């Protein structure tokens, strides 16, 4: 038995926009078109959807959640089992691949792995050369140079590898009996009235007339889910490297600045995603509600925010400890200098006592006459070091 399987896979691309400088989607499309037009092996086209208000075909969603363009690759036609292979370019160096692959056989966990590996091989075969050429093209605002990315920690290799971050699969069926047969494949009940069944990486669409609505909703949800996944990945990586920052104030300040930017930007993206949900119309809204609920997107968003707060607190503690350490060094140095001044004063007094005759008087400083100058200086030096050490320990106790 053969059937067409829809594949959805987020990938890294060297395309990131300065959001506050974007006026409209056409601005982004024209810039990307000028880049792709000089690169052989890739074609660019507009997204055939309407945004804003006007009809139930329109979705009034923020620009950051609107796909910029669709990239297709003529050479993929050499692959006989590939019916569709298109990359929807978004923002934040993320694109979502939608492919339709002709599959012969029974759907199972083993064949899921084969489908995943097949898509990975295709991506790594056709995408890297084109992504490298896109990255090498000169940029103009609002398109950012890859060196200026500061939301994710993504290397040049990852930006141009074409390797999918994950792969999910969707089957469109014609009748309910077929849905029951696929229950073991999606690993969730399939007898509900919901037109889109969301399983563990596998989906079932019960009505092919709703494909376009399902496709648009899945792309949007996959994009935001990818943002959350990559943000979490970057924060965890930063937390692992945090211990290396203990003695580097410049690095800790840089990390704190990036952390604050991520925290603010992610909060904004969360608000805009809620706005996108509100602005989605028709069946796409119900599909998006199903995806949000089954993927627990809002719970994942809250988890990433909590992780950010933990990381923020840890960085604050590291910076506070570094500042305390610096203050302790400065305080000890000041005490040392003050003690050296006392030594100088004692030496001057000792010299004065040695050169002046005051046998008729007796005072505390006459004790100095009992010691040689070398002994007096040695005693004073030991006292300076002792006072400095005690001052340092006193600072630790106060902490």
Compute the distance between CA of residue 394 and CA of residue 99 in angstroms, rounded to an integer. Answer: 67
Kindly tell me if the per-residue pLDDT of 337 is higher than 50.
yes
Is there a single domain that holds both residue 205 and residue 327? no
Q: For residues 162 and 128, is the Cβ–Cβ distance under 8 A? A: yes
- Last residue of a domain, which of 209, 235, 258? 209
Kindly tell me if the per-residue pLDDT of 342 is higher than 70.
no
Mean model confidence pLDDT for the chain:
86
Is there a single domain that holds both residue 198 and residue 329? no
Write down the pTM of the prediction.
0.82
With tokens 């056989």, the residue in question is 105
Kindly tell me if the per-residue pLDDT of 128 is higher than 50.
yes
Q: What is the pLDDT of residues 160-196, one digit of tens each?
A: 999 999 999 999 998 878 888 888 898 888 888 889 9
In which domain, by residue range, is 80 found? 2-209
Let me know if residue 394 belongs to a domain: yes
Let me know if residue 51 belongs to a domain: yes
Q: For residues 295 and 222, is the Cβ–Cβ distance under 8 A? A: no
Q: For residues 32 and 70, is the Cβ–Cβ distance under 8 A? A: no
Let me know if residue 273 belongs to a domain: no
Is there a single domain that holds both residue 193 and residue 328? no
- Last residue of a domain, which of 151, 176, 209? 209
The two tokens of residue 368 are 């100095």
- What is the number of domains present in the chain? 2
Alpha carbon distances (Å) from 87 to 46, 67, 333 = 12, 10, 62
- Last residue of a domain, which of 209, 226, 245? 209
Let me know if residue 294 belongs to a domain: no
Q: Give the total residue count for the chain.
A: 399
Let me know if residue 38 belongs to a domain: yes
Compute the distance between CA of residue 277 and CA of residue 292 in angstroms, rounded to an integer. Answer: 10
Let me know if residue 28 belongs to a domain: yes
Compute the distance between CA of residue 201 and CA of residue 170 in angstroms, rounded to an integer. Answer: 9
Kindly tell me if the per-residue pLDDT of 396 is higher than 60.
no
Q: What is the pLDDT of residues 68-122, one digit of tens each?
A: 999 999 999 999 999 999 999 999 999 999 999 999 888 887 889 999 999 999 9
Q: Label residue 231 exposed, middle or buried (CB < 10 Å: 0-12, 13-18, 19+).
A: buried
Kindly tell me if the per-residue pLDDT of 388 is higher than 60.
yes
Residue 360 confidence (pLDDT) = 54
Please state the φ and ψ torsions of residue 183, each to the nearest 5 degrees. -60, -40
Residue 141 confidence (pLDDT) = 87
Let me know if residue 50 belongs to a domain: yes
The two tokens of residue 93 are 């160096």
Q: What is the mean pLDDT of residues 351-371?
A: 58
Is there a single domain that holds both residue 167 and residue 20? yes
Let me know if residue 216 belongs to a domain: no
Is there a single domain that holds both residue 65 and residue 198? yes
β-pairing, 69-72 vs 58-59, is unpaired
Query: Residue 215: which of 134, 318, 287 has the closest Cα?
Result: 287
Q: What 3-state class would DSSP assign to 309?
A: helix
Exposure string over 345-366, b if 16+ CB within 10 A, otherwise e: ebeeebeebeeeeeeeeeeeee
Kindly tell me if the per-residue pLDDT of 343 is higher than 80.
no
Compute the distance between CA of residue 12 and CA of residue 156 in angstroms, rounded to an integer. Answer: 10
Q: What 3-state class would DSSP assign to 72?
A: strand
């Amino acid at each position: 038995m053969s059937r067409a399987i829809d594949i959805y896979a987020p990938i890294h691309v060297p395309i990131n926009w300065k959001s506050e400088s974007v006026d409209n989607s056409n601005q982004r499309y024209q810039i990307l078109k000028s880049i792709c037009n000089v690169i052989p092996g890739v074609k660019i086209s507009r997204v055939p959807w309407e945004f804003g208000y006007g009809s139930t075909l329109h979705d009034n969603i923020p620009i950051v959640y609107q796909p910029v363009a669709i990239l297709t690759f003529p050479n993929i036609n050499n692959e006989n089992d590939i019916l569709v292979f298109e990359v929807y370019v978004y923002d934040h160096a993320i694109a979502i691949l939608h492919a339709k692959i002709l599959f012969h056989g029974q759907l199972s966990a083993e064949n899921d792995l084969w489908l995943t590996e097949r898509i990975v091989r295709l991506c790594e075969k056709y995408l890297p050369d084109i992504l490298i050429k896109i990255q090498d093209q000169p940029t103009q605002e609002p398109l950012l140079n890859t060196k200026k990315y500061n939301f994710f920690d993504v290397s040049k290799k990852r930006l141009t590898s074409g390797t999918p971050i994950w792969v999910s699969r969707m089957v469109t069926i014609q009748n309910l009996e077929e849905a029951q047969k696929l229950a073991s494949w999606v690993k969730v009940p399939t007898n509900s009235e919901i037109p889109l069944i969301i399983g563990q990486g596998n989906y079932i669409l019960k009505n092919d007339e709703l494909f376009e609505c399902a496709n648009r909703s899945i792309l949007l949800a996959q994009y935001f889910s990818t943002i959350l996944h990559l943000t979490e990945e970057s924060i965890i990586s930063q937390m692992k490297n945090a211990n290396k920052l203990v003695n580097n104030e410049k690095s800790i300040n840089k990390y704190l600045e990036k952390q604050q930017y991520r925290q603010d930007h992610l909060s904004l993206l969360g608000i805009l995603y809620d706005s996108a949900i509100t602005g989605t119309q028709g069946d796409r809204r119900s599909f998006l509600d199903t995806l949000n609920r089954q993927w627990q997107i809002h719970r994942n968003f809250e988890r990433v925010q909590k992780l950010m707060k933990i990381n923020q607190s840890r960085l604050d503690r590291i910076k506070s400890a570094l500042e305390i350490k610096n203050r302790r060094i400065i305080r000890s140095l000041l005490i040392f200098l003050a003690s050296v001044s006392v030594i100088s004063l004692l030496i001057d007094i000792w010299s004065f006592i040695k050169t002046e005759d005051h046998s008729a008087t007796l005072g505390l400083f006459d004790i100095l006459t009992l010691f040689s100058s070398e002994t007096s200086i040695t005693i004073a030096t030991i006292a300076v070091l002792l006072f400095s050490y005690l001052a340092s320990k006193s600072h630790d106790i106060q902490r």
